[in-house]
Chain A
Amino acid sequence: MIKTDILIIGAGPTGLFTVFEAGLLKLKCHLIDALPQAGGQCSELYPKKPIYDIPGFPEVLAGDLTQNLLEQSKQFEPGFTLGERAETIEKQEDGSFIVTTNKGTKHQAPIVAIAGGLGSFEPRKPLIPNIVSFEDHGVEYFIKDPEKYRGKRVVISGGGDSALDWSIFLAEVASEVTLIHRRNEFRGALDSVEKVQELKSQGKINLITPAEVINIVGDGKVKGVVVAQSQHIEKEFVVEADHFIPLFGLSPKLGPIANWGLEIEKNAIKVNNALDYQTNIPGIYAIGDVNTYPGKLKLILCGFHEATLMCQSAYQRINPGKKYVLKYTTVSGIDGFDGSRKESPKAVVKAIN
């Protein structure tokens, strides 16, 4: 059981900044995110794109913003459970919550802050009628353990970076790699495209374009895929395979959080914006893009503000009646949980003769 003061669901910019604000109040944080890395949309969707409306930063790349936020809060030693999706929440008799992930990891905290953005990123599934019945029986949307494909025949479909990169990687592992894409053109880093070209020439990747997987054949497990190709003439044929891996990117879904008994409106969680961004369940807060209230704007800078007020309220809940006043970091410095201290240099008092 992982225990902390504030359990943050979602490691995007709002979740990461919460660690800093909580740290100033001597509250420890742990973050859960379905993605394998911190940063949320900023690192998953557009790490190389600039953002122009972070106060004080005329221009900052989304990936750099994530790195800066991690750096800013690192002395408060946040814990991370990455690559796991928060699945269930159970209120305990002492008022705390236990959140369990899809992989069974349990987390306990008196405060839960949902900073889940648009939700957890789920794979986009191609519209193949029988695909669901083959999931985990040869159809996989993520590659978790490449060794699983050693000596196997693999069909990958998709035209982006992940389809290219995994085709390259599995070309050395699997006995046969077939890459299928609707167009002849691929969208990916130039060296990945060139590498696939090279592997195709060497006969290590079987490339089928422009084509689409339209069906799966097999009996309880994948034995092959039906491919429709439309070069020169329309034709359909079966490619024998042990695994079919569609890689069409990820799309965010609110997911299990929608069943936590929270008041939902417009795919977002209703909160009290007059006070502290608390939800209808005391002790559970929602901050950043995942919440809604009159006049809500889905901006990173608004998420930072919401995180800051939420932490003050969390402090009051955890330390009822305990006195505290807002302190400025410039005046009081920052004492990290790792023993580090940051402070402004003292003024020098020295006579000038």
Chain B
Amino acid sequence: MEEQDINIKITDRDGVEHEVVAPTDMAMNLMEVVRSYELAPEGTIGVCGGMAMCASCQCYVESDTELPEMQDDEEAMLSEAFNVKDNSRLGCQIQMTPAMEGLKVTLAPES
């Protein structure tokens, strides 16, 4: 299954960049990848479990990777979140697919 793995770069909330390998065949999203590598303490990311209801997995997308289009619930949540920028997305809404190869993100501050 290794050929299905993708490489992504995640900068944590302390500014440290991590190069990680994510599987594309386990229906994982970016928030779950961050949790699986423990790049943010438990309880500070993915609080709602991935329902686009808490914005604790907000991240800034820094690569020009073509991302899945934003759905209404993600857009609504980001409109109520803090520290939002033009390149903000919710990690829980970004599925790990082969198209995400080379994705580079920075985690937004905890709020």
Chain A residues close to B by CB (< 8 Å): 41, 45-46, 49, 118-119, 124, 126-127, 158-160, 181-183, 185, 187, 248-249, 251-252, 254, 266-268, 292
Contacts and interface: CB of A to CB of B under 8 A. Distances in A.
Given A46-B48, A46-B51, A119 B43 contact: yes
Interface stretch (B63-71, B76-84, B98-106): B76-84
Contacts of A249: 54, 80
A127 B82 contact: yes
Contacts of B77: 187
Interface string B3-32: 000000000000000000000000000000
B111 A124 contact: yes
A105 to B, nearest CB: 26
Contacts of B42: 266-268, 292
A313 B2 CA distance: 46
Given A41-B48, A185-B76, A254-B43, 6 more contacts: A45-B51, A118-B43, A187-B76, A187-B77, A252-B43, A292-B42
Contacts of A181: 79
Question: DSSP majority for the A interface?
Answer: loop
4 closest residue pairs by CB, A with B: A267-B43, A187-B76, A266-B42, A183-B79
Contacts of A292: 42
Contact of A124 (B43, B48, B73, B82): B82
B94 interface: no
A182 B79 CA distance: 6
Using C-beta atoms within 8 Å of the partner chain, give the interface range for chain B.
Answer: 10 to 19
Contacts of A46: 48, 51, 53
Interface of B: 41-44, 47-48, 51, 53-54, 56, 73, 76-77, 79-80, 82-83, 111
Given A158-B80, A249-B80, A49 B43 contact: no
Given A46-B53, A127-B111, A159 B43 contact: no
A182 B48 CA distance: 22
B43 A268 contact: yes
Given A45-B53, A127-B111, A267 B80 contact: no
A251 B80 contact: no
A186 to B, nearest CB: 8
